[in-house]
Amino acid sequence: MLSQVVELIESKQRFLITSHVRPDGDSMGSSLALFWTLQSLGKEVVVAFKDNVPYSYRDLPGAQEVQRMAEVEEPFDAIFVIECSDMNRPAIGGLEKQFVVNIDHHSTTALFGNINWIDSTAAAVGEMIYNLCKALGVTVNQEIAECVYTALLTDTGSFHFSNTTERTFKIASELVKRGARPAHISHSLFYSNPYSKIKLLGKVLASLERDETGRIAWVVMPHNLMGQIGATEDDLDGIVNYPLSVGEVEVVAFFKEMQPEHFRISLRSKGTVNVAKIAEKFGGGGHKNASGCSVKGKLEIAEQQILGSLQTAMGIIPVAAD
């Protein structure tokens, strides 16, 4: 599949790169790394997302080049859809009318592209773009190196998650050799928070609860809280990971009341519990250690449904007999 992507890039000229709504470090880093790769080959390339570039990623090389787009209105030779489980994830209209290249590292992705390049062994899509860059014979410059490093750093949870391997460090080492600045990148990702984010974190963490086994913890953000603090959706990023730092906690659920009685739920696992399976039950998705879904209704009902499913999956409560 990599060779098909190489052949396509070599033979075509005009490309669009996009990724999912509320882009994360891998979608931003991978999209911009591909942008710089195509640029250095003299291609015409547009990077466009439905949403704004999140605050944490505003310093990434090329972040100011990212456009906002709701509908693809002109023809491209190909559109790269990065890290998306299906064609609707970018929330950009008109993709289906064009030649689409699906690039992802989640084995659960739908094969929606005209070309589907899926590598579930890659720690991040950024790693795949790095391989693509090499396959194209493009020199990894500082821009590419910093974008790929950001993708690797964020998707491995700062090299904490189980997708961190010897290969991850080998690539990270090569990226640093090519000009990526680890301290600079970490500073803009982790030590440049807006005040509102830390205020929100404090309020949300104050709601922390756990089940009787102590293996499941959850936090809640009521609908009016963001308005009171003046916080944005960006400020929600990463909060779910804090309760996971409690020793015996294996799984965390974060109930975010985005609209009254409409909860967006983030699930995280640091053990063997596959939270993608739980999210899928509620029409969501993700991967083994990080997933999300939505539930409508009162908080008590949302909690009962999600926490009940987690307890069943973890063998805390027995599966009901038919």
Binding site for Mn ion (CB under 5 A): 26, 83, 124, 155
| Between 26 and 303, CB nearer to Mn ion | 26
Backbone Cα Rg of the chain: 20
The neighbouring-strand residues paired with 102 are 81, 116
Nearer to Mn ion, 20 or 215 (CB): 20
CB of 214 to Mn ion, least distance (A): 30
DSSP tag of 150: H
Report, in Å, the least distance between residue 104 CB and Mn ion.
Answer: 8
Query: At its nearest, how many Å lie between Mn ion and the CB of residue 63?
Result: 18
- Pick between residue 124 and residue 216 the one whose CB is nearest to Mn ion: 124
- Give the nearer residue to Mn ion in terms of CB position, either 26 or 257: 26
Taking the least distance from each CB to Mn ion, the nearer of 128 and 140 is 128
**What is the SS3 assignment for 112?**
coil
CB closest to Mn ion, residue no? 26
Distance CA 192, CA 172 (A): 22
Q: Measured from the CB of residue 287, what is the shortest distance to Mn ion in angstroms?
A: 8
Task: Please identify, using beta-carbon distances, which residue of 99 and 161 lies nearer to Mn ion.
Answer: 161
Strands, sheet with 251-259, edge to edge from the N-terminal-most edge strand: 209-210, 216-221, 251-259, 262-269, 290-296, 285-287
> Quick one: DSSP state of residue 319?
P
DSSP per position, 16-45:
EEEE-SS--HHHHHHHHHHHHHHHHTT-EE
What's the CA gap between 150 and 186, in Å, rounded? 9
Nearest approach, Cβ of residue 105 and Mn ion (Å): 6
Tokens read off for 318:
């027995």
Report in angstroms how near the CB of residue 18 gets to Mn ion at its nearest. 15
Nearest distance from residue 151's CB to Mn ion, in Å?
A: 7
**Residue closer to Mn ion (CB basis): 155 or 303:** 155
Q: Enumerate residues 6+ apart whose C-beta is below 8 A from 146.
A: 60, 61, 175, 179, 180, 181, 185
